[in-house]
A = this chain, B = another copy of it.
């Protein structure tokens, strides 16, 4: 199992892999409070780090885009089909595989909704773990997970993201619960509701749903801003140009601090 001496190793071209940090909302912990984030991990079946839990991933496929490679790797290891898959970061420092071959990982970031998370059958080598009770991870995957969770928390205030963690249709209360779970803090429900609605990305389906045993709540679905489905008014929708590598950072910045005056 030797890889040769140091200089031989350094002469090797680096291998390129894709890994995915997937998150889904799952049940709460022991204290029975809010729900938590859970992530699926796979157990390594070969050296190095045999037996350790790791992020799902695989080799980059030369005939596919990075994103497709990530999707395929995910599909083949976990059967999950995330609703959002976005590039997070590339990791490639020489010490990350600790004695193995040099390895570059392009890490993607994904979210699946509750429905899919439930359907997902655990196997011996694939299991969900709650965010705050992860096992020891292989390689530098712990750092990667932390990086991803930090990013998620920064952006959870945007409808685009929260809605990914619930099903395609949801009530505002469900969304609210997600926001609280991810951020780990109390969020004022009244204001949350207004903020979401103000974004103009939520469309009422017309249905109602009862969560407790009381008054039923309106059900919404997510639509990209400006893409109302007919019936209300003019506003000839701008196509919202979603180019391939659309990531959320655009929206984030919009909301933050546009320097430019109205002009």
Q: Does A155 contact B (CB under 8 A)?
A: yes
Cβ 8 A contact of A259, one of B15, B187, B250: B187
Query: Nearest chain B CB to A25's CB is how many angstroms away?
Result: 16
Known: A143-B245, A185-B260. A106 touches B92 (CB 8 A): yes
Instruction: Check: A63 CB closer than 8 A to any chain B CB.
Output: yes
Taken together as a complex, chains A and B put the C-alpha atoms of A160 and B132 apart, in Å, by: 32
* Neighbouring B residues of A147 by C-beta, 8 Å: 245
Residue among B106, B259, B261 making CB contact with A90, cutoff 8 Å = B106
Interchain CB contact (< 8 A) of A150 among B90, B188, B250: B250
Closest-by-CB residue of B relative to A147 is B245
Q: How many residues of A contact B (CB 8 A)?
A: 52
Contacts of A185 in B (CB 8 A): 259-261, 263
| Distance from A232 Cβ to chain B, minimum over Cβ atoms (Å) | 27
Cross-interface CB contact of A183 among B89, B91, B249, B260, cutoff 8 Å: B260
Is A134 at the interface (CB under 8 A from chain B)?
no
Whether A13 sits at the interface, judged by CB under 8 Å, is yes
In contact, B259 and A94 (Cβ under 8 angstroms): no
Copy number in the complex reads 2
Question: With the chains together, A93 CA to B187 CA distance in Å?
Answer: 41
Q: In the complex, what residue of chain B is closest to A180 when comparing beta carbons?
A: B259
A34 CB → nearest B CB, Å: 13
A89 contacts across to B, CB distance below 8 A:
87, 245, 247
| Contact call A64/B157, Cβ cutoff below 8 A | no
- Residues of B with C-beta under 8 A to A12: 62
Q: For the complex, is A85 an interface residue (Cβ under 8 Å from B)?
A: no
| Residue of B whose beta carbon sits closest to that of A65 | B93
**A window 46-72: CB within 8 A of B:** 60, 62-66
> Given the complex of chains A and B, what is the CA–CA distance between A16 and B186 in angstroms?
45
Specify the chain B residue showing the minimal Cβ separation from A254.
B154
The interface bits of chain A over 1-24 (1 if a CB of B lies within 8 angstroms of the residue's CB, else 0) are 000000001111111100000000
The minimal Cβ–Cβ distance linking A11 to chain B, given in whole angstroms, is 8
Give per-residue flags for A251-263: 1 if the beta carbon is below 8 A from chain B beta carbons, else 0.
Answer: 0010011111101
Q: Which residues of B contact A16 (CB under 8 A)?
A: 13-14, 16, 92, 104
9 CB-based A-B contacts, threshold 8 Å: A10-B63, A13-B62, A16-B92, A63-B94, A65-B94, A66-B92, A90-B90, A185-B259, A185-B263
